[in-house]
Amino acid sequence: MTRYQNVFSPFRFGNVEVKNRIEIAPAIPCLATPDGFVTRELIEYYKSLARGGAGIVTIGDTAIDFEYAKDHEHQLNLGDDRVIAGLSALVEAIHRYGAKASIELNHGGRFAEPRTLGGKNPIAPSSLPSETAMMWAEMHGRKLDYQVMEMTQEQIDMVVDHYAEACHRCMLAGMEMVLLHGAHGHMLGQFTSPYTNKRTDRYGGSLQNRARFAIEVLDAVRKKVGDKLAIEYRISADELVPEGMHEEETIEFAKMIQDKIDLLHVSVGLLTNPITIPRMIQPTYLPHGLNVPYAERFKKALKVPITAVGSIDMEMADKIIGEGKCDIVAMVRPIIADTEYVNKYRHGEIDEIRPCVRCNFCTHSVAQFYPIRCAVNPVIGREVEYPYIRIADKKKKVVIVGGGPAGMEAALVASSRGHQVTLYERDTKLGGMLTLAAAHPFKADMKKYLDWLVQKTMRAPGIEVKLSTEATADVIKAKKPDVVILAIGAEPIIPDIPGVKKSNVVWVGDVAMGKAVAGETVVVAGAGLTGGEAALHLAQQGKKITVIDMVSQSEIAQDAPFLNKLGLIGLLHQHGVQFRMEVKLEEITDKGAVVIDKQWNRFEIPADSVVLSLGFKPRTTAVKALQELAPDIYVIGDCANPSNLKHAIHDAFNVAVEI
């Protein structure tokens, strides 16, 4: 019997009884067809999530129509009766594992664009441009040249009807519940929030007026589906912007609708503000369960059951349910990282769970309109291609050189397919550059993943690990391998400039891992993710930090997933880190860093220490020395192309799964 009695107890709301208190939160998979219909990829993706044991599986971010509601590519279209057949197959796949099927219904409102609406201008409560659309357009090299149109009464009535019709289609497809997205600044929230609703008619002004649209939608949905569908309503407890809705007013709104819904899903923040976005989907820099206090206060103020969400793991979920702070916990990133997450907790196999690192690559991929991908789980979104990892037809002797993340992932996948694997690592322990990535205190999620990956590799029965061993050509030849995989990583770029060997110059990795100590005033050369995280770590120690780079201000932490970039930059500003961008490091003196700007002005930035974080380059010489040692040679990870954890893990998987 599981010790997580609160999480694994059944719960009833409306006419729905769920087997446990875990709801898979509505992530965007970008796996529908371009015209909004269900694909085999979408079915297999949600089937894999449902198989993992959650009580509710929520299909993420669907459009109630494609006329005005669609706000991104490969979104499901609930405005067409032809979607019902595919939805029913999707529901059937979810039901196979005892989960209840839910679906998030949304209207983009001002988040939509003419390119998603067949050339039409988007409609919204008020004619206000979307900051999010502007950010996304900038990411894709576009400019916004359209106007958001204020909705007429006829359009309001149309959208209300479209919500009801979309819910009816979900009911016909066999779903037990729907999730109406009224949070984060989407259409329902655009009406309720004074930040986005500037109307002067009966839909604007007072809270009663601003709530009118949401109430009309809820009444229309209930009239259409009766009690055959449970209704969950998603809110932002606090929009965290000065002119937005704050907790007290949101509670009053929730009291107005609680008799019309069966479950209240309590989130936080707005998509319209870079500072609040990380509060919606927390990066690794923010605490777990950051938004739970909001759920607790809403639970005390209301009679409707409450769903809590936001970086809540199973231990915390069981605790907060037991303490009466919420009734349901929604989570998705841990389940994306390991689709068996819930089952493994239920069966006491906690050490086997592949941890989520909260890198937010999953959200980054779909923000670029790519199919969903996970940095640590290379199968997610590819379930059709890899329904299982097949045993190799011919067992081979595989030598892997390098015990970083790419080397370990390749070893695990190859050994799981029956190959005989020998893994060489010249250091005294496995980890490679992942050790650097996990070094800072705020990277505890990454450290947990590192520890899991190392232990998994060391314990795997089909892998012989050789630590403190240089894999020379002679060592490899003696093994007579069929396959050699080179995963020897990269080396730091050290510029050939005056003063680079001075005692006040340190490499970022040595600082992160405690091998070197920086002074009280520090210049960090390099504004990528590694440099930014080092700057944050040093600033949190009370040091005065200046980050320099040749790139522009908008390109700070450009190699980080978008949400983590926003979270990191926000914390850097919060801790007083200064930036001198579009300058080139020319020289290092005893007094600091000498730089030159675009106008050829040369000046010195005072510093006790200069931390070099200028990226990495492949170990090409070492790779060339080992490239002729077996019939099949593969070069993976940073020694092929210095990049990130996702690149290393996927590179390794893609090679090892085909050997």
Say which CATH number the domain at 407 has: 3.40.50.720
Q: Residues of 480-515 as b/e, b for ≥16 C-beta within 10 angstroms?
A: ebbbbbbbbbbbbeeeeeebeeeebbbbbbbbbeee
In degrees, to the nearest 5, what angle opens at C-alpha 448 toward C-alphas 445 and 351? Answer: 130
Residues 80, 182, single domain; the answer is yes
pLDDT, residue 323, reads 98
Residues 547, 473, single domain; the answer is no
Task: Please check whether residue 382 lies inside any domain of the structure.
Answer: no
The two structure tokens encoding residue 517:
């100590």
Q: What CATH number corresponds to the domain at position 537?
A: 3.50.50.60
Task: Please check whether residue 373 lies inside any domain of the structure.
Answer: no
Residues 136, 176, single domain; the answer is yes
pLDDT, residue 136, reads 67
Phi, psi (deg, nearest 5) at residue 101: -95, 125
Q: What CATH number corresponds to the domain at position 114?
A: 3.20.20.70
Residues 586, 625, single domain; the answer is no
Question: Side chain identity at 110, as an amino acid letter?
Answer: R
pLDDT at 524 over 90: yes
Q: Which of 76-85, 141-150, 216-225, 285-294 has the lowest mean pLDDT?
A: 141-150
Domain that holds residue 513: 505-614
Alpha helices in 242-340 (DSSP H): 247-257, 277-280, 292-301, 314-322, 333-337
Task: Please check whether residue 497 lies inside any domain of the structure.
Answer: no
In eight-state DSSP terms, residue 314 is: H
Task: Please check whether residue 372 lies inside any domain of the structure.
Answer: no
Residues 624, 600, single domain; the answer is no
pLDDT at 132 over 80: no
pLDDT, residue 53, reads 98
pLDDT, residue 36, reads 96
Average pLDDT, the chain: 96
Picking from 602, 513, 595, the residue whose alpha carbon sits closest to that of residue 550 is: 595
Alpha helices in 324-481 (DSSP H): 333-337, 341-346, 361-367, 405-416, 433-437, 444-459, 473-479
Residues 577, 640, single domain; the answer is no
What's the rounded Cα separation, in Å, for the pair 1 and 11?
18
| pLDDT range class, residue 130, cuts 50, 70, 90 | confident
pLDDT, residue 143, reads 74
Task: Please check whether residue 424 lies inside any domain of the structure.
Answer: yes
| pLDDT range class, residue 140, cuts 50, 70, 90 | low
In eight-state DSSP terms, residue 638 is: G
Per the listing, tokens 């819930």 go with 342
Residues 17, 121, single domain; the answer is yes
Residues 425-454: what's their mean pLDDT? 97
Per the listing, tokens 């003696």 go with 478
pLDDT at 1 over 80: no
How many domains, in total, are found in the chain? 3
Residues 492-499: what's their mean pLDDT? 96
pLDDT, residue 145, reads 81
Residues 111, 220, single domain; the answer is yes
pLDDT at 628 over 90: no
pLDDT at 495 over 70: yes
Residue 37 burial (C-beta neighbours within 10 Å; 0-12, 13-18, 19+): middle
pLDDT, residue 499, reads 97
pLDDT, residue 139, reads 63
Residues 625, 609, single domain; the answer is no
Residues 446, 579, single domain; the answer is no
Task: Please check whether residue 381 lies inside any domain of the structure.
Answer: no
What's the rounded Cα separation, in Å, for the pair 242 and 228?
39
Residues 320-344: what's their mean pLDDT? 98
pLDDT at 164 over 80: yes
pLDDT at 137 over 80: no
Residues 448, 565, single domain; the answer is no
pLDDT, residue 129, reads 87
| pLDDT range class, residue 391, cuts 50, 70, 90 | very high
Task: Please check whether residue 387 lies inside any domain of the structure.
Answer: no
Q: Residues of 392-415 as b/e, b for ≥16 C-beta within 10 angstroms?
A: beeebebbbbbbbbbbbbbbbbbb
Phi, psi (deg, nearest 5) at residue 342: -65, -45
pLDDT of 219-271, one tens digit each? 999 999 999 999 999 999 999 999 999 999 999 999 999 999 999 999 999 98
pLDDT at 142 over 80: no
pTM of the entire predicted model: 0.95
By percentage, how much of the chain surpasses pLDDT 90? 91
From residue 288, alpha-carbon distances to 54, 279, 406, 445, 533 in Å are 20, 11, 28, 10, 19
pLDDT, residue 271, reads 87
pLDDT of 184-200, one tens digit each? 999 999 999 999 999 99
Residues 351-360: what's their mean pLDDT? 97
The two structure tokens encoding residue 496:
């050939």
Residues 317, 406, single domain; the answer is no
Task: Please check whether residue 126 lies inside any domain of the structure.
Answer: yes
pLDDT of 577-609, one tens digit each? 999 999 999 999 999 999 999 999 999 999 999
| pLDDT range class, residue 141, cuts 50, 70, 90 | confident
Question: Side chain identity at 116, as an amino acid letter?
Answer: T
Per DSSP (E only), the strands in 118-195 are 123-124, 149-150, 177-181
